[in-house]
Amino acid sequence: MDDRLALPSAWRSIFGAPDEAEQALKEATSHGASLINLARAWSVPLLICFSIAAAIVLGRAPMEHNIALAQRGFGEGGALGAVMALNWFEMIELLVIIVFVFGADLAVLAAANNFRDGRSRGEKVKALFGHTP
């Protein structure tokens, strides 16, 4: 009998053979966990980029109009003329757009954090969203 096979065969006869399905499950689980961690790490910068893009797209018209008004007012009356030339209703509209976009992002981040914390405590998915058993 080959010496290289003696120790593993003795091990298997005493302790039993390793479960190949269990080993495959452990490898798949560790791979899935690393992908989840990668997705979590990537989600925040992606959310920030999409938020900035949404604020730019939604606020483009009032911003362009106010920049043009400020440039014309600056040429006529300096810095005070630029401030006085702004359309303040459009500036408030732009502020509301930015608050809504970033407020929605904060809500998404808070929900994701609540979901992750609940799952780590072992709660069911339906219970995390207010469903009672």
Q: Which two tokens stand for residue 113?
A: 């954090």
Contact 82, 73 (CB under 8 A): yes
CA distances from 72 to 28, 40, 64, 89 (A): 63, 46, 12, 18
Biggest CA pair distance of the chain: 100
14-71 confidence digits (pLDDT tens): 776 666 766 777 776 666 677 777 877 888 888 888 888 888 888 888 888 888 888 8
pLDDT given at position 118: 74
Provide, rounded to the nearest whole percent, the portion of the chain with pLDDT above 70.
74
The percent of residues in the chain predicted with pLDDT above 90, rounded, is 1
Domain ranges of the chain: 47-128
Termini Cα distance of the chain = 61
* Residue 5 C-alpha from the chain's centroid: 51
